[in-house]
Amino acid sequence: MSKFNRINTLRNQIFIGFMLVMVIVLALVSFFTFGQVSILLRNNAEKHIQQTAVQATGKLDALLQQINTLTAQVAMNATTQRLLAEETATEPIRFEDRQRLQQEVRKYEAYATGIRSLELYTADFQRLLPLDDIRLTERVSSEWIDRVDEEMGRLVWFGQDPQNPNGVIAIRSIRLIDKSFSHAGYLMVHIEKSYFELTDATVESEMRESMGLFDKSGKTIFSDFPAGADSRMLLSHVGESITIDGKEYIAIQNQSEATGWTLAILTPMDYVTEGISVLRTNILVSGGVGGLLFLIFTFILSTMITRPILNLIKAMRGARFGTLKPSPITSRTMEINELNNSYNQMVVDLNELIEVVYQKEIIQSRTELKALQSQINPHFLFNTLEAFYWELEDKGEEELAQIVVAMSGIFRYVINKTDEDEWVTLGDELDHAERYLKIMEMRMVDRLSWRIEVDEACRQVPVPKLLIQPLVENAILHGVEQRVGPGTVMLRVEPSSRPGFTRITVADDGPGMDQEKLRSLHAVMRKGHVSATKGHGIGMVNVERRLRLSYDAEAEGLEIRSEKGHGTTIAFEIPNEYGSEMKP
């Protein structure tokens, strides 16, 4: 029993348990790998082949786009449009015009690659180019022509030329731009099959892919498949392995959206399965070596870990009671000793961090207290201005005293710490604008005169706070101050011609704006913001945005009228009852 106790140690338990688990894991992994690794590699190879097919399709689409662009240029050529327009108007095309048209078309053919010929037909299928009398119905079937008509001017690809197996045909309907894109004729392009070669013939390798391009009817447009390959068999065995001339291949295909043609790719099976056997051997060898090393390291680690770990646990239990103390225990094992030192350093760092956080909390609390203490009390500001007022009254400076009163009113109106004063009455807004005008009148002396005209019935209409004063300020800044000599600002409030609305107008007799500047201002207001460096228009943009945000669709925004040398007038209308739920 004592001998069993000596053997039944934690180290031996870890060693035996890890060994058994590793043997089972290696056996399962080896069995699973033998069956799955070939499938995984084959799938990866097929993904690579599919990517090759996508790249080849992209190259094909680029070739098709070149032809599409060329035919579109010919169809929209001025000479082509003019002659077909005359033909549509029942004016016969002269032979000289057909020759001139042929010269224009030959220019396009000269710069194109792979195009055998361009043929031009009228709407009644008579051929204009080349210079003969063959009809379009003699070249292609009526079903093809009907399909071209349905595409309304888009290029239609039909595949192999029925009269020339070495060429490919595409047709588009020609539309007259100046006559509402009415149908006027047909443009047929005859392309060499060599134009669609998608592989590099200079690359010679037994392992490279073979490609084939087939039209909708299965006819071959391009192919470098082995001699014994059957195109119909390839198209019907997609993703399967097939045998050609005693050699296995995998067939992958992709379809062109522009033409509906099928691109098929054959890849030798040797390429797909290459390296599978080598990889299996490597996996087995690696598994065996890894298992042996795992057992050795398990024995070593179990011995190093189990002896001092309990001592370290005892030292760490003190953290549960909120006390972080370093562990005085040391170990002859370097890793465990390093772990113990790391724990001790962690305890030191945590204690320092706790102290830093505690000090930061104290500093932050003191900072917040100082910030609260340093806030300006609005009542102190108002009391100070009131003291200025009485001092000026005592000294007989009545004009300055009134300015101080106006300034105090402006501050009292603007400084607001509650959300209840977001809406005010038009009377409040007009009083605020009047105080602002008084201050500006004193600053500008005799250069500013102003007047406020208001219908008393409109004073109780609710309005967003600080909506009118920016317009008055804008009229002074960009109107009166830009004028040579004295200027006038007029603020008028009156019932609108629309029932239930009130109209507010701010006008000045400043230099005004020309039409270009006015259009620029309207564009900025539609955009919704203006650069601060531009200056002009910031106040009006803000008022415009507040109107639309406050009244939704009820307000139509600012109405601006200005003429160079005759001042500027800004007006807007607001509903009388909107915002009436606000507290007075």
- In three-state form (DSSP H/G/I as H, E/B as E, the rest C), the secondary structure along 414-444 is HCCCCCHHHEEEHHHHHHHHHHHHHHHHHHH
Average pLDDT over residues 312-337: 69
- Calpha distance 553→442 (Å, rounded): 40
**At a CB cut-off of 8 Å and minimum separation 6, what does 542 contact?**
470
Write the CA distances from 461 to 22, 430, 490, 495, 576, integer angstroms: 85, 12, 20, 10, 5
Average pLDDT over residues 493-520: 91
Which of 79-88, 424-433, 488-497 is predicted least confidently?
79-88
Q: Say what angle helices 378-394 and 398-414 make with each other, to 10 degrees.
A: 170
Higher pLDDT, 341 or 501: 501
Strand order in 164-176's β-sheet?
127-129, 115-122, 182-192, 164-176, 156-161
217-275 pLDDT, tens per residue? Answer: 878 888 877 766 666 666 666 666 777 777 777 777 777 888 888 888 777 777 666 66
Which amino acid, residue 137?
Answer: T
Question: Residue 146's closest CA among 114, 183, 179, 201?
Answer: 183
Collapsing DSSP to helix, strand or coil, 134 comes out as coil
- Calpha distance 388→370 (Å, rounded): 29
- Calpha distance 264→258 (Å, rounded): 16
Question: Residue 186's closest CA among 175, 194, 195?
Answer: 175
Higher pLDDT, 365 or 515: 515
pLDDT over 50 at 303, yes or no: yes
pLDDT for position 372: 42
Question: Residue 154's closest CA among 187, 124, 123?
Answer: 187
Per the prediction, the chain carries an average pLDDT of 77
pLDDT for position 584: 41
Higher pLDDT, 310 or 361: 361
pLDDT for position 205: 45
The full DSSP string for 258-287 is: TT--EEEEEEEHHHHHTTHHHHHHHHHHHH
What domains are there in the chain, each with its CATH number? Answer: 76-196 (3.30.450.20), 197-276 (3.30.450), 416-575 (3.30.565.10)
pLDDT for position 293: 79
- Calpha distance 153→81 (Å, rounded): 13
Which of 31-40, 196-205, 323-332, 482-491 is predicted least confidently?
196-205
57-81 pLDDT, tens per residue? Answer: 888 888 888 888 888 888 888 888 8
**At a CB cut-off of 8 Å and minimum separation 6, what does 412 contact?**
378, 382
pLDDT for position 376: 43
pLDDT for position 506: 95
84-142 pLDDT, tens per residue? Answer: 888 887 777 787 878 888 888 888 888 778 888 888 888 888 888 888 888 888 888 88
275-293 pLDDT, tens per residue? Answer: 666 666 777 787 778 777 7
Alpha-helical runs (H) found in 226-377: 231-236, 269-273, 276-317, 334-374
Query: The tokens of 504 are what?
Result: 């507010």
Task: With beta carbons less than 8 A apart as the criterion, state whether 191 and 67 touch.
Answer: yes
Q: Largest Cα–Cα distance of the chain, in whole Å?
A: 121
- Residues 223, 224, 227, 230, Cα dihedral to 10°: -40
Strand order in 210-214's β-sheet?
220-223, 210-214, 262-268, 247-255, 241-244
Distance, CA of 358 to chain centre: 45
